[in-house]
Amino acid sequence: MTTESISDDALQAEVKAWLSENWSEEVAKTFGVDGYMSASKERQQWLGKVVDAGWAVPRWSTEWFGRNLNNDQAKIIEREFAKVRAPGTGQDRTNLWANTLLAQGQDALKEKLVGPLLRGEVNMCLLYSEPGAGSDLAGIRTRADLDGDHYVVNGQKVWTSGAATADYGMLIARTNWDVPKHQGISFFFLPMKQKGIEVRPLRQITNESHFNEVFITDAVVPAENMLGAPGSGWKVLNTALAYERSTMGENARGPRSGQAESSREEPLIALAKEAGKIDDPHLRQELAQYLAYKRLNALNTARAKADLAQGTSSPIMSLGKLAMSRILHEEGRLRTKIAGAQSLFEGEQYPRAEDANFLSLNAYFTSIGGGTDQVQRNIIGERVLGLPKEPEVDKSVPFREVRTST
């Protein structure tokens, strides 16, 4: 692994040579349709190679699998990986779990899990929302009570993706009931493979079950699995949410039909050409507006990531997430418009209709996950535009005294 200063040209040549030696179409085929999201042994082996070479988190220090590169040089690596469609780099921007752990975790837990998280050897989930605390996460009632060298956790979480296969869950739980709601929360890496954790799937409109309810009864989490100090979980949560919103503001799930789409030009433009509608002036105007949204969001996301790299949780992340939500809904609408009457069909023989319908429905995932569009508008209004905050009558009240609906 290179640790000394390196020129841009030399770095580009090194990345190209490494990819030429290690990545091929045959390797790509082992990843299956979902590519980077595959949980296969082949994926783990590939990610292990990427981590060992220092390409996974090039902005990080060499102590933590990185190369101490600046942002511009890290982007050189990402571009070369993108050219051959190889996954694994850029995790210092996109790996929510590893970034949060590195920023806030205790040394023992970092030594144990940062590497496996980067190599895809550990599955994770988020244990934030509750039936009575979604948009107002500070109102959580899941409790974690200290008992010697561990905490005993009881409560219920909901809208949890990947809970059935997760090894750990990033959990927020109340450890102090005698201080205001934001001050009594702690943040943990909760082991999921234990007695006392029950996962129940929730069926979605897309006929998938990405989300679950999680019931926690006397589950145990070691005290060393706490991120930050006791009662500082709200600060850790904001760090994690910043990474999550940054990723959601930059990336989006693609079509699921498996039908090939153009990699040389904007897919929606290619679809319009394929359908013989590219000369429709109204459609061209809508496509131009859609592409303008995407470009502006890319610039805002780059700005927010620069803030995050300096250790600050930028509210611009909320702007990026809200913008991506709008972009995804617009993409679904335009795909439906391009497909025309064919969008009423479904099945393998109508892949373009399948993609239009799926993406139209799946756009709501981004509108809700990581904080709803309405929550993002509140954050933008208060922290970006400087508008007056909404009144919170319970903000300074010890949480034990906060009234709940019955």
Q: What is the pLDDT of residue 39?
A: 60
Rounded (10°) angle between helices 316-339 and 281-309? 160
Chain segment 388-398, per-residue pLDDT in tens? 988 888 888 99
Q: Provide the pairing of β-strand 197-202 with 150-157.
A: unpaired
Burial of 267 (0-12, 13-18, 19+ CB in 10 A): middle
User: Do the beta carbons of residue 223 and residue 149 sit within 8 Å?
Assistant: yes
Q: How far apart are CA 155 and CA 175, in angstroms?
A: 12
Q: How far is CA 373 from CA 37, 96, 146, 369, 377, in A?
A: 25, 20, 36, 9, 6
Class of domain 8-94: mainly alpha
Q: What is the pLDDT of residue 203?
A: 83
Regions of the chain with pLDDT less than 70? 1-4, 31-39, 206, 245-264, 305, 307-314, 405-406
Q: Please list the residues that pair with 171 across neighbouring strands.
A: 127, 188
Task: Assign residue 66 a region (left: φ > 0; alpha: ψ between -120 and 50; beta: otherwise).
Answer: beta
DSSP 387: P
Task: Assign residue 162 a region (left: φ > 0; alpha: ψ between -120 and 50; beta: otherwise).
Answer: left
Q: What is the pLDDT of residue 34?
A: 45
Q: Which CATH architecture has domain 124-230?
A: Beta Barrel (2.40)
Which pTM was predicted?
0.77
Amino acid symbol at 372 = T
**Token digits of residue 353:** 């209709």
Task: Assign residue 148 a region (left: φ > 0; alpha: ψ between -120 and 50; beta: otherwise).
Answer: left
Q: Provide the pairing of β-strand 150-157 with 211-222.
A: antiparallel
Burial of 318 (0-12, 13-18, 19+ CB in 10 A): buried
Cβ atoms within 10 Å, residue 180: 17
Q: What is the pLDDT of residue 89?
A: 95
DSSP string, 151-203: EEEEEEE-S-TTTTT-SEEEEEEES-SSSBTTTSEEEEEEE-SSTTEEEEEE-
Q: What is the pLDDT of residue 62?
A: 95
- Where are the chain's structural domains? 8-94, 124-230, 251-384
Domain 251-384: which CATH number of 1.20.140.10, 3.30.70.260, 3.65.10.10, 3.30.300.130: 1.20.140.10
User: Do the beta carbons of residue 282 and residue 334 sit within 8 Å?
Assistant: no
Q: What is the pLDDT of residue 33?
A: 44
Q: What is the pLDDT of residue 32?
A: 54
